[in-house]
Structure 1
Amino acid sequence: MKIVCVGAGSMAESMIHGWINKRILKPEDISVMNKSDLARLEFLRDEYGVNIVEAEKTELRKAHFVLLAMKPKDAAVALGAIKEHLTAETVILSVVAGVSIASIQKHSGLLPVARAMPNTSARIGKSATGVAWSKQVTLEKQHELRSLLSSIGGVTVVKEEQLHAVTGVAGSGPAYVYYMAEAMTEAAIEEGLSLADATKLVRQTFDGAAEMLQHSNFGELRQKVTSPNGTTAAGVAALDNHQFKKVIHACVKAATNRSQELGREFD
């Protein structure tokens, strides 16, 4: 299986790292290209052993999948640059936020298109990925896509219109967790812990909680550690007093809305 990555940012790198690390693809089966940043392409070649697409773009004709991984504003130009080099059998796998399958096909021809929204935890095989595909994607290609995406984490097949919500929850979600980890660390330091100790304790807390989440209902887990009139109850009450749930809802809603806006801007 050969893949060409059009776009070479953090998402593409995370997926490349995951594919190679899980041995789903060999480095020589992956080629990379972008608009103009040769230094970035050379870094990926040197770091992972992947190929840089040559000027003739023959790699595109041999590709089973073409990964679109650029900013939405650059997608139309990128598709225009590669369109003539794609074959009818090429499957486009887009991780471009907000840009619809119909819009991609408008710029590339009526090719099979899958849209996925992974996150950068793909780098360690822990992505939460939502995927939808066009009717041109055969059952065989759907199976191959599932294999590709499941090698970098969990996969949930959704309706295309639901990918905006997937973006708001899972695509952007790691940043929310990192932000909370930052805040907890800062609060721990204010309460007298050293930076080193606070960081270690927060990391282990998130690691343990993430593992527990795999085995139990979220609400039940919270209730089990929240003894009446205890320290956890006091902390959760402070979250409620500051409308923590409303803040999280607003956060997810804002990211979901922005995904929808990016699609409209592209169209």
Structure 2
Amino acid sequence: MKNIGFLGAGAMTEAMIQGMITKEFIDRDRLFIMNRSNSDRLAELEEKYGVRTLQDVETLLKHSDVIVLAMKPVDAAYALESMEPFLTDQHVIISVLAGITTSYIEESIQPNIPILRAMPNTSAAIGYSATAIARGKYANQEHSSFTQQLFETIGTVVQVREEKLNAITGLSGSGPAYFYYMVECMEKAAILNGIDQETARHLIIQTITGAAKMLSETNNHATHLRERVTSPGGTTQAGLTVLEKYKYEEAITECITEAGKRSEELGKILERQSHL
């Protein structure tokens, strides 16, 4: 069994640790965490999950076979520089850093180390992440399988080519926020129509949950399910007509496209800054 070390102690690290322990993917004494500055956060995670926390990169790499890069993307260059002297060809690196390519990581370290890149989302906190993973030049199918099993402890996983990850960041990485915004808007509309907020929230959440289950459990296409709800001249048709009037489809398309472009731009900015 491999030991797993985390560089970074934020929400994603905690979600992954909780998922792996809950699903019995790994013993908690095989999990190691370090960050640069927040010793209180390390103490919190150690007490809560019984994992081992460390204070320096050398010790982390000495104890870990798999290194998860989970710090802020702006700290990637410093982290890779500090890791490089202690890496061996026995290590595997998994990055959850938005926009940072495997080729950038490969160029920042000397050995031909297997590197994989993952894009989970914030629903990992409750075990419902939609995660996409891609492998770098030196990673093989065995590395991909291990990484998939790891991320399946916090949700569902798909394997893709790395060039798709920026678009996936715009789709499912940022996707929860789009639904939260929709709920905000629906709550405001409900209040304007005389429904109290608590009642509206209950009805909206159950409506979204039911729609998601219809999509996943009936295996019907969204178009088919929409058409089944929409009677000609009925209430649903009246609402959908307004969405079409305000170019709802175009807005969603542009939203996802622009978020994906921004992921790519941010990655390039960070990579350029690291070479200055």
How high is the TM-score relative to the length of structure 2?
A: 0.92
Q: Which amino acid aligns with 1:223?
A: E
Conserved? CA contact 1:5–1:31, under 8 Å: yes
**Kept in 2: contact 1:61–1:87 (CA 8 A):** no
**Deviation readout 1:167-211 (Å, 9 max, x if unpaired):** 010111111111111211121122111121111111111111111
- Asked if the contact 2:57/2:83 (under 8 Å) is kept, the reply is no
Is contact 1:72–1:262 with CA below 8 Å preserved after alignment? no
Give the aligned length.
Answer: 267
Q: Over aligned residues, Cα RMSD in angstroms?
A: 1.5
Q: Distance in 2 between matches of 1:87 and 1:108?
A: 10
CA contact (8 A) 1:31 1:50 kept: yes
CA contact (8 A) 1:6 1:68 kept: yes
CA–CA distance in structure 2, aligned partners of residues 100 and 56 of structure 1: 22
Which residues of 2 match residues 1-267 of structure 1 at below 5 A? 1-55=2-56, 57-109=58-110, 110-214=112-216, 215-267=219-271
**3-state SS, counterpart of residue 216 of structure 1:** coil
Rounded to whole Å, the distance in 2 between the matches of 1:190 and 1:229 is 24
Deviation at 1:36? 1.0
- Bigger Cα displacement from structure 2, 23-32 vs 211-220: 23-32
Query: Where do 5+ consecutive residues of structure 1 fail to align?
Result: none
Give per-residue Cα distances to partners, 1:103-148, cap 9 Å, x unaligned: 0112223311001101122223221111111232233222211211
Identity of aligned residues (%): 42
Matches of 2:165 and 2:57 in 1, distance apart?
34
Query: Structure 1 residue 48: deviation in Å?
Result: 2.0
Checking the alignment, whether the CA contact within 8 Å between 1:68 and 1:92 is kept in structure 2 is yes
**In the TM superposition, what is the alpha-carbon distance from 1:33 to its structure 2 partner?**
1.3
Query: Conserved in 2, the CA contact under 8 Å of 1:58 and 1:85?
Result: no
- Which piece of structure 1 moves more, 61-70 or 111-120? 61-70
By how many angstroms is 1:64 displaced? 2.0
| Amino acid across the alignment from 2:132 | G
Distance 1:191 1:144, change over 3 A: same
TM-score in terms of structure 1 length: 0.95
- Per-residue CA deviation, residues 28-67 of structure 1 (Å, 9 max, x unaligned), is 2211112212222222222222221133742322312111
Q: Which amino acid aligns with 2:173?
A: G
Q: Which has the higher contact order (CA 8 A, sep 6+)?
A: 1
SS of equivalent residue, structure 2 residue 150:
helix
Q: Show structure 1 runs of 4+ deviating over 4 A.
A: none
Provide the C-alpha distance between the structure 2 equivalents of 1:234 and 1:59, rounded to a whole number of angstroms. Answer: 59
8 Å contact kept, 2:36–2:55: no
CA distance in 2, matches of 1:56, 1:114: 20
Task: Please give the secondary structure, in 2, of the residue aligned with 1:208.
Answer: helix
Q: Which amino acid aligns with 1:131?
A: I
